[in-house]
Structure 1
Amino acid sequence: MILFLDFDGVLHPDAAYLVRGRPELRSGGELFMWSCYLVDALASAPHVRIVLSTSWARELRFARARDYLPAELRQRIIGATWHSGMATDDEHRPLGRDTWWDTSTRYQQIRRYVDRAGITDWIAVDDQPEGWADTDRDKLVSTDSNLGLSAPSARVRLAAAVGNMASAWAVADAMAGVLVIPQVERSASSADLVQWVEWWQSSYLRATELPPDQIAAMKAGHWWPPVSAVEVRAMPPAIARRRIP
């Protein structure tokens, strides 16, 4: 399996800027502070290889962008959707100074790589869902630009997508423990497990007005601060069956 990996809005908030040739994060936390979640999700998935689909490969060159990642991820990287030849190849410079890559959507960049390499088994982790074809939308693990992989919903979808259900269950169980709610039954399908996590995350956000210190904790990766009670909406049947015997 090939995993197309974005950096901004996935491994840290989408607030990274290039300052005098060096990337800086202009928000709370630090660059790549959520990369540990990707390491965990892939720990039991040795078959997964990574292709960089981030603009970092364009701005900093492939090797430098790759080397910002921890060793556990670097060893999986096999390429990038951008390569330096695109800056000079007539195929990619029909618009003068801009290349085709600069003016295309993230999905178009990924799809071109997929088609040229003949890849059939792939997913993408990205905070840019715009322009994705309906036929490929199930391959996108979409993240919130501010929360990235710190959000349980993103982590459980990623873990399920790479077949690491132990990691997916760990995310759900941790959420149940903090919110003081019953765990999901082990007979639940992976689709129901993902729905359960997404629903509780959405309900939590709707039920709680977060003070600034908790927002800061969220951005640091501590997404679920302890709560004593959560107001919830009517549960979808698939979730209610797993909460109410």
Structure 2
Amino acid sequence: MMPFRHTTVPLVTLDHSADLAALDFGRVLFLDFDGVLHPESCAERDLFCYLPNFGAALQQVDGLQRLPIVISSLWRHHCTLQQIRAYFPQDLARQIVGVTPYMTDAQAAAVQDWAPFGGEQSRSCHRQREVAMWMGAHAPQGHWLAIDDRAAYFHKNTPHLFLVPKLVYQGDSGITVYQMPALVARLQAFLTP
């Protein structure tokens, strides 16, 4: 649940005013919010309730805070980059460098031959296509990992996705303390050359 009215804001795919030199664009993390940093359906007071877990997991593997974070959440359509950063502690906010672009069907078709897609076209994999578009524009030689709760937004069996599982007892998802060991292990593997 997003605490704002539905409007569209200009997307800042890469914030050139940020301190980009301190970050290593050889690896880029793409982050969803709903179902990851808080349950998909939650009260406004519970928004970002799992953010401390995400921050702790990231701190364990990226203590120097060199991993760029790009927001792939739908929140990017309704909040400015500055508004998004305001939800995060200052150290994590500094690592947020931009958002993925919104892609039309024509734009999605234009990136069909980008390596992770293998030429396959699927409308349901739109988030992976948006990631590909961002990577092609800003870190073409880099590697990426997405943290998301929606497998359908990515190609089947992609190695680039950490899928946040649904919580059996709640029917929702989020980075709870139970997912932290798996997230830390996946981030560690991602950051190890």
TM normalised by structure 1 equals 0.49
Within the alignment, does 1:130 sit opposite 2:152 as a pair?
A: yes
SS for the counterpart of 1:123 is strand
Give the equivalent residue in structure 2 for 1:149.
Answer: 175
> Going by fraction, where is helix more abundant, 1 or 2?
1
1:54 to 67, 73, 82: 73
SS for the counterpart of 1:10 is coil
Q: CA deviation at 1:144?
A: 3.0
Matches within 5 A, 1:70-149: 70-82=89-101, 105-117=126-138, 118-134=140-156, 137-144=158-165, 146-149=172-175
Between the two proteins, the alignment pairs up a number of residues equal to 138
Higher relative contact order (Cα pairs below 8 Å, separated by 6+ residues)? 2
Q: Could you tell me the percent identity over the aligned residues? A: 26
Give the equivalent residue in structure 1 for 2:57.
Answer: 41
CA contact (8 A) 1:62 1:80 kept: yes
Distance 1:143 1:113 in 2: 22
CA contact (8 A) 1:53 1:80 kept: yes
CA contact (8 A) 2:149 2:173 kept: no
Within the alignment, does 1:26 sit opposite 2:43 as a pair?
A: yes
Q: Partner letter of residue 6 of structure 1? A: D
CA contact (8 A) 1:9 1:148 kept: yes
- Structure 2: where are the runs of 5+ without partners? 1-26, 109-123, 167-171
SS for the counterpart of 1:51 is strand
Give the equivalent residue in structure 2 for 1:160.
Answer: 185
- Structure 1: where are the runs of 5+ without partners? 16-24, 93-102, 165-245
Could you list the runs of 4 or more consecutive aligned residues of structure 1 that deviate by over 4 angstroms after TM superposition? none
Q: Partner letter of residue 134 of structure 2? A: Y
Q: Partner letter of residue 176 of structure 2? A: S
CA contact (8 A) 2:150 2:163 kept: yes
SS for the counterpart of 2:46 is coil
Distance 2:125 2:187 in 1: 27
SS for the counterpart of 1:69 is coil
Give the equivalent residue in structure 2 for 1:14.
Answer: 40
TM normalised by structure 2 equals 0.61
Q: CA deviation at 1:40?
A: 0.8
Give the equivalent residue in structure 1 for 2:116.
Answer: none
Q: CA deviation at 1:142?
A: 0.6
Distance 1:75 1:4 in 2: 15
Q: Partner letter of residue 113 of structure 1? A: W
Q: Partner letter of residue 38 of structure 1? A: F
Q: What do you get for the CA RMSD once the two structures are aligned?
A: 2.8
Q: CA deviation at 1:158?
A: 1.9
